[in-house]
Amino acid sequence: MTEQSVIFFDIDGTLLDHNKELPATAKEAIFQLKENGHVVAIATGRAPFMYADLREELGIHSYVSYNGQYVVLEGEVIYTNPLNKSSLLNFTEKALHNNHPVVYMDHEDMRANVPEHPYINESIASLKINQFPTHDPYYYQDRALYQTLLFCAEGEEKQYEREFKDFDFVRWHPVSVDVVPKGGSKAIGIKKMVEKLGIPRDRQYAFGDGLNDLEMLSSIENSVAMGNAEEVIKLAAKYVTHPVDDDGIYHGLKMAGLL
């Protein structure tokens, strides 16, 4: 019998192509991994509600969301790392003063502190998801939030970076920035999961393509960069596979000896 391994997959640019579609060969490969007794998990910057359909389609119940801030193993929450509430309140006040909208995000939903804004419309539409933030300026109260989106032009986030040392600011769109707890990463979320699973390092695998995958690919022994990844990502990985839209997942799993 094949020894059990765990394989983590990023979503955008890794499982999903640039049209946000899942290649047929990737889906078939994941079903084959599961049939062979391996643990298949997702590691993404997305919120859990942004890829519920994908998890259902692939039958995946273990995932690292918000770049490591919310970790679920077989349907059970095993680790959370929410934003500091007092810092978030001060951050919100500054953003309001600067006319920079924010969207608050927990594990179930996202709500905007303004009724409407073109930057919100533009950036969220680019994700091609079914959800859109509704208006609730007090959504940050009485709940744990794992990420906030700040909407501003490139460079304008620098003032927040200087002032709010509890947060990391990661631009993902020309008009939007992820605000996450300082030092959080996919690698930390993955570490929490593999500790529970008890699967050794030599049977841990990860696939990714973006800058938020860099620490994950550097820390996982059997890491695979997609062919569409930037050069710095490829240099961090053990293997480099084909691009996502050229059967990259399938070929990467073959290279790693899992198929």
Which domains are present in the chain? Answer: 6-80+184-255 (3.40.50.1000), 85-181 (3.30.1240.10)
SS3 per-residue string spanning 160-222: HHHHCCCEEEEEEECCEEEEEECCCCHHHHHHHHHHHHCCCHHHEEEEECCHHHHHHHHHCCE
Q: How many residues does the chain have?
A: 259
pTM of the full structure? 0.91
The pLDDT of residue 129: 85
**Which of 10, 12, 209, 213 is the catalytic position?**
10
The answer to whether residue 245 is catalytic is no
The pLDDT of residue 77: 98
Q: Which residues of 53-78 are buried (b: 16+ CB within 10 A; e: fewer)?
A: ebeeebebbbbbbbbbbbbbbeeeee
Q: Which residue has the tokens 């993902």?
A: 172
The pLDDT of residue 1: 45
pLDDT (tens place) for every residue of the chain, 259 residues total? 469 999 999 999 999 999 999 999 999 999 999 999 999 999 999 999 999 999 999 999 999 999 999 999 999 999 999 999 999 999 999 999 999 999 999 999 999 999 999 999 999 998 888 889 999 999 998 899 999 999 999 999 999 999 999 999 988 899 999 999 999 889 999 999 999 999 999 999 999 999 889 999 999 999 999 999 999 999 999 999 999 999 999 999 999 999 9
